[in-house]
Structure 1
Amino acid sequence: MFADVEESEITKLLDDKDSVSTKRTIKRSVNLFRTFLMEKRGSGEFEGLSKEELNENLRLFYVSIRTKAGTSLKVSSLNNIKYGLFKYLKDTCKIDVDGPEFNESKQVYKAALTDMKKKGFGSVDHKPPISTEDLKKLYDSESIVFNVNTPCGLQNKVWFDLMFYLCRRGRENLRKMTKKTFGIDTDATGREFVYQAIDEADKNHGSNATPDETIGEARMYAQPQSGDMCPVITFKKYLSKLHKKLEALWQRPLEAFSEENETWYCRSPVGKNTLACLMSEISKKANLSRLYTNHSIRATVITAMDDAGIEARHIMRASGHKNESSIRSYACRLNENKKREMSDCLSSALGTVTCNKYLATESRSDQENSLANLIEEDPLANLTKTDLDEIFNNSTFEEISSSNYVTCEKQEISVLRAQSSNIIPQLPGIQICPNLNNCTVNFNFYNQK
């Protein structure tokens, strides 16, 4: 059987085959080229030009284009303009831009890129991953922005959780999501998880996508120890509070509500522009260290998985990337902690920097908790609170060169590299053995029988 198809439907199919970002790039590139031709030739029409005329105009276009401020473009910007213009010429004008007729303009294009790099316009502005400190602010128990007892806070948290755990792209298809986009299931161990139940087309998965390619196989598992902040629990709560007569997943929060109300959201969807800038708004409300974009969440996820040693091929299945080179653009970046560590390492090599007294910035209780965490890692250690009190009451911590200390990120404290007697005094019945390995200091406590 066959359906009756009108010409307008075919036109719409052809128009929808490219993503929104691709259409935007094509439109901008074509408009720039038309503006250039208007200034140089008096006419912006180029569809009827011969290949030789196009080649000559492209040569001049590449070297003359500037920003509104009159400065040179960045390499990435010129690449986007070329891509949009060439796609338009190929799809609309049926002109093969890779033919020998365009060799001269292609050589000028390469020379223009080289000149831009020499002038310092070759850098790429990567979206920064969210710092560990800012993530803690978001999920702090006193955080207003993720308060699950309010419509806005609940929606913010569920949106961030889905973007984070499922490693979604920044702004694509957010407005198209419905209550059925994500499903809830249980694995063989009986643990609940949220997954993406409905496939979708995005930048990496269009008409050329193969059947085994996926937009992402990541799961958002329940975290029972998190209580009301468990991502699966908050997702269920959010679904239960949505307006029953609207299928859109992201609905406008009610201004007036109560905890007992069955519905917390209006029969009106959140606008696509609001969703596209949601992480920036969250950054402002949570008073984060900088304004992050939606894509920063994806950068955070991929960086975290790479730092954890997860293989690139597995990250690709979760994120939906089609090749490892895309993953490397995230994996090759240094996080803030690593940058600080490298700078401190170089400073200590100069021998001119000294560190503060051991744990000087932490309170006594923080010191005890940090040491207790270290001790608990050794099953043979049986230090009591009395032992801890004796350690901190009787110990003296001297300032030494910063070349003799390293940072222990797990406990978030500075550990002085010195003789064990300088850090922790010998206690009766306890033998302290410091093992120094690759700038990591481990203290093993053994009971003597």
Structure 2
Amino acid sequence: MAEYAARELTEKDFLQETEEFVQPMQPTRFGNFTEDDLDSIELLKDEKATTKQTTWGVKLLRDWLIEKNENPAFEYLSPEGLAVILRRFYAEARSKTGERYSKSSLTGIRASVNRHLNSPPYHRNVNIIRDREFKAANNIFVALCKQLKADGLDSTKHKTPISTYDLRKLASSGVLSSSDPLALSRKVWFDLTFHFGRRGREGFRKLTKSSYRVRESYDGTKFVEFTYSEKTKNHPDDDFETQAKMFATGGENCPVAAFAKYLSKLNPGENALFQRPRVNVKPDDKVWYCNSPLGENKLGSMMRDISKAANLSTIYTNHCVRATACTVLDSAGVETRHIMYFTAHKNEASVRSYTNKLTSDQSHGMSGILSKSLGYQTEHNGVVILLSLQWAVTLHRLKLKTPSCPWHLDKLLQTLASPPFQIPTTRVLHRYFTVALLVVP
């Protein structure tokens, strides 16, 4: 017992002495992150669509390696070994149906593999597109792209702008209006996409009620502006503040009035800007929308649904609205460098991919003029559109752009009824002339 008591006393003494040296843990100023934590954060730099594209490209390469009885862990190959593999892969890559990939698909596959190698957890610090070790592989890549173009498989296509006819049909169809929840939601989406040059599917689901605000200019005109810098595909690493604004126009189709009404009808329990429309609501109901947001797929097919509802001549995509805005601004004489601030493009060449093309109306008009010079009988609409636009520009420069002046239309009709055109003066001329005046600033 004495020995036990002595041992117990010794342990107590030890604990007491130890407590004098052990201080309680103080809260730390800085965070603690493992390598896995840091890798997870780094992966957030890529958009969801980019991550999906990368996964697809890497899987394709890995499937090819397995089929060829090669080591699928290509991430650990030396640059020289990887170059040999890629040289064969570019030439032999095929779709599930055995078809060759287009130039744009091949370019995307190569970029996907490059991103994968330089992302966590590998961080290879190699560039399969530019490094000299991959010159032979990239020579094959360039040769294949030229061959695809020669064979008609260069399928890179830019989105088609909405035609003037479809724009006017859309405006008069009632599909975009403030009369009911669905039409109002569609109108606000289209107005924001059109006036701010938004990309087809980018960022709509992340928009909140406070993403845009209504303000007044120095002369009292109300306008809508974006409230914060947004990360976009063209500006993933820097904050880009769009300088575009949507000004009030007055009338029943005023985009600012529609936006203000839309905000007032949103569900207070949901912060998303785009919410699911309620059914069977009354005009004087305070809330027109459900306590749940519109999904990404629904937002991504918005212009397709609008095209079907308005019975347009073509089923347009969301990105067609952005292409239309660029084309309209360019046709009106807005400088490319100013359009860049509107669309958030980083260089003028990207803007010209939209504007260095003839619209369907311009093509139709030019074809009509050429055919008429040969004495062919032609449909008149194309010529009328082109001449109406020319007259609208002239009248605008003379400061006579007022539809109330009757001689505007009379002068146009006299010109079209005279040689060499001799086009009958029908109501269609009035319609196209009005369209021309509306699209010229």
**Normalised TM-score (structure 1):** 0.77
Structure 2 unaligned regions, length at least 5: 1-27, 385-391, 434-441
Q: Which of the numbers 141, 145, 148 marks the counterpart of 1:116?
A: 148
- Rate the CA distance shift 1:16–1:410 in 2: closer, same or farther, 3 A: farther
CA–CA separation in structure 2 for the residues paired with 1:355 and 1:271: 47
- Rate the CA distance shift 1:10–1:161 in 2: closer, same or farther, 3 A: same
Q: Give 2:90's aligned amino acid.
A: Y
The superposition leaves residues 225-261 of structure 1 with CA deviations (integer Å, 9 ceiling, x where unpaired) of x2x3211111010000001111111111112211111
Conserved 8 A contact 2:267-2:289? yes
Q: Which of the numbers 230, 241, 245 marks the counterpart of 1:219?
A: 245
- Rate the CA distance shift 1:245–1:357 in 2: closer, same or farther, 3 A: closer
The superposition leaves residues 42-78 of structure 1 with CA deviations (integer Å, 9 ceiling, x where unpaired) of 5422122222221111111111112333332221111
Q: Which residue of 1 aligns with 2:308?
A: 284
Compute the RMSD of aligned alpha carbons. 3.3
Aligned length: 381
CA–CA separation in structure 2 for the residues paired with 1:357 and 1:137: 19
Q: Which residue of 1 aligns with 2:210?
A: 180
CA–CA separation in structure 2 for the residues paired with 1:76 and 1:199: 30
- Rate the CA distance shift 1:75–1:356 in 2: closer, same or farther, 3 A: closer
- Rate the CA distance shift 1:148–1:58 in 2: closer, same or farther, 3 A: same
Conserved 8 A contact 1:186-1:193? yes
Q: Which of the numbers 81, 87, 101 marks the counterpart of 2:133?
A: 101
2:57 aligned with 1:23: no
Q: Give 2:140's aligned amino acid.
A: V
2:288 aligned with 1:261: no
CA–CA separation in structure 1 for the residues paired with 2:161 and 2:132: 43
CA–CA separation in structure 2 for the residues paired with 1:357 and 1:54: 60
CA–CA separation in structure 1 for the residues paired with 2:199 and 2:405: 48
Report SS of the residue matched to 1:72: coil
Q: Give 2:202's aligned amino acid.
A: E
2:340 aligned with 1:316: yes
Conserved 8 A contact 2:304-2:315? yes
CA–CA separation in structure 2 for the residues paired with 1:346 and 1:261: 57
CA–CA separation in structure 2 for the residues paired with 1:245 and 1:37: 51
The superposition leaves residues 192-228 of structure 1 with CA deviations (integer Å, 9 ceiling, x where unpaired) of 1001112221111122x3x6xx34211000011x2x3
Farther off after superposition, 7-16 or 283-292: 7-16
In terms of fraction of residues, the more helix-rich structure is 2
Q: Which of the numbers 89, 105, 130 marks the counterpart of 2:162?
A: 130
Report SS of the residue matched to 2:76: coil
Who wins on radius of gyration, i.e. which is larger? 2
1:382: how far off? 9.2
Conserved 8 A contact 1:254-1:265? yes
CA–CA separation in structure 2 for the residues paired with 1:336 and 1:101: 46
Q: Which residue of 2 aligns with 1:440?
A: none
Q: Give 2:194's aligned amino acid.
A: F
Q: Which residue of 2 aligns with 1:50?
A: 78
Q: Which of the numbers 139, 150, 155 marks the counterpart of 2:180?
A: 150
1:335: how far off? 0.4
The superposition leaves residues 376-433 of structure 1 with CA deviations (integer Å, 9 ceiling, x where unpaired) of 9599x9989xxx8xxx9xx9x989665x7799x995669xxxxxxxxxxxxxxxxxxx
Report SS of the residue matched to 2:215: strand
2:168 aligned with 1:168: no
Q: Which of the numbers 229, 236, 241 marks the counterpart of 2:253?
A: 229
Q: Which residue of 2 aligns with 1:75?
A: 103
CA–CA separation in structure 2 for the residues paired with 1:247 and 1:74: 42
Q: Give 1:354's aligned amino acid.
A: Q
Farther off after superposition, 80-89 or 43-52: 43-52
CA–CA separation in structure 2 for the residues paired with 1:401 and 1:331: 31
CA–CA separation in structure 2 for the residues paired with 1:80 and 1:382: 55
Q: Which of the numbers 317, 339, 351 marks the counterpart of 2:363?
A: 339
- Rate the CA distance shift 1:307–1:255 in 2: closer, same or farther, 3 A: same
2:325 aligned with 1:293: no
1:138: how far off? 1.7
CA–CA separation in structure 1 for the residues paired with 2:286 and 2:417: 61
Q: Which residue of 2 aligns with 1:199?
A: 229
Q: Give 1:37's aligned amino acid.
A: L
2:60 aligned with 1:37: no
Conserved 8 A contact 2:368-2:379? no
1:357: how far off? 9.5
- Rate the CA distance shift 1:47–1:378 in 2: closer, same or farther, 3 A: closer
- Rate the CA distance shift 1:27–1:352 in 2: closer, same or farther, 3 A: same
Conserved 8 A contact 1:356-1:399? no
